[in-house]
Homo-oligomer: A and B are copies of this chain.
Amino acid sequence: MTATLPTDVQHALAAIGGRSFSHLFLVACGGSFAVMMAGKYFADRHSPSLPCDIYNGDEFVCRDPVRLGPGTLVVLCSQTGTTAETVRAARHARERGATTIGMTMAADSPLAASVDHVLGYQAAYTTGRPIDSAYSNYGILYMLLAGLFDQRERSALSPDLLVSLGRLQPAIDRAHETFAERFATYAPRFAPRETIYTLSSGASYGAAYSYAICVLMEMQWYGSQAIHADEFFHGPFEVVDEDAAFIVMIGLDETRRLTERARDFLFRFGDRDNMLVLDAAELDLDGMVEEMKPYLVPLILFDTLWRFAYRLAELRDQPMLEGRRYMKKLTDY
């Protein structure tokens, strides 16, 4: 029932054990960048000694933060291992003398060839086969960070994390059932729209970001934005009227009240029928350690929302992956 630390994660942790890194950089693009946002939250909550920054691949290369150099650790992620900007970022980090760890599904990819340590992970998205989400991008990133922080901070995050990751896949499977009826109700309302916003905060903000840019915009050509629940009140809330449509992801982390506040506003000035709210409090997270739940919530909500996306795709008669007009179709941009 408890997840096992994969051999490659063990090896990477052994190799970096005892190194006193001065900075941690989490670097990726798009959906993988969104996973790094959750990693940053985890780092902010658990590592007093290791400052952490996240950047997308090309911003990292060009901005070239002056703190990057020998004695820093750079963790990168690309599903296929071919994302040009992320591969470039890995090479840039190595040139600067940093230690590099690359997460990818493809052990023979350019990213894998450009880093010191390669960590594999599973994704249903790419293979179409059922997976155990304990070993997904989120899961592997958390395993690495928990191991790293346990070494540095004398914390004991890893055992609780592995127990909780062991309960993740069943929790996701149950979540599909929990939200199925809601998705069936909301899909016909959302399908014909031009614009759907997502909204969240804290550990779950990345999931909202990924859903907005990689699912709604990329695969279904909706207008969108992932609105941070606090920033919502400093501009974006002015677009709310009876016709505005939002997907709200309420997590279990310390920022929960931010998203609850935004949800209350949306219910008050918008139409509830246009507000698809997924509250992690509705989930059955049986067997997970309380402190780890907030970090696993974004995986569950995001995974579940794929089902909603497929419903939209059907109603809009626009296939998900195959419906893209530029990505994976053009090569010269």
Which one of B67, B257, B324 contacts A62 once the chains associate, using CB atoms below 8 Å?
B257
Report chain B residues within 8 Å CB of A325. 238
* Inter-chain contacts of A45 with B (CB < 8 A): 63-66
Chain A contacts with B in 35-91, Cβ cutoff 8 A: 41, 44-48, 51, 53, 56-59, 62-67, 83, 85
For residue A225, CB closer than 8 A to chain B, the reply is yes
**What residues of B have a CB within 8 angstroms of the CB of A240 in the complex?**
326
Binds B, one of A122-130, A229-237, A272-280, A299-307: A229-237
Q: A217-B236, A230-B59, A326-B238 are in contact. Are A47 and B30 (CB under 8 A)?
A: no
In the bound complex, do residue B59 and residue A202 qualify as a contact, i.e. CB atoms below 8 Å apart? yes
The tally of residues in A whose CB lies under 8 Å from a CB in B reads 68
Q: How many copies does the complex hold?
A: 2
A195 proximal to B (CB < 8 A): yes
What separation, in Å, do the CA atoms of A29 and B236 have in the docked complex? Answer: 12
Judge if A121 is at the interface, Cβ distance under 8 Å. no
A239 within 8 A of B: yes
CA gap between A92 and B231 in the complex, in Å: 19
B53, B214, B230, B235: the one contacting A58 at CB < 8 Å is B230
Chain B contacts of A228 at CB under 8 A? 56, 59
Give every chain B residue within 8 A of A65 (Cβ-Cβ): 44-45
Asked if A96 is at the interface (CB within 8 A of a chain B CB), the reply is: no
Query: Does A31 have its Cβ within 8 Å of any Cβ on chain B?
Result: yes
A309 proximity list for chain B (CB < 8 A): none
Could you say which of B59, B235, B257, B326 contacts A201, with CB atoms under 8 Å apart?
B59
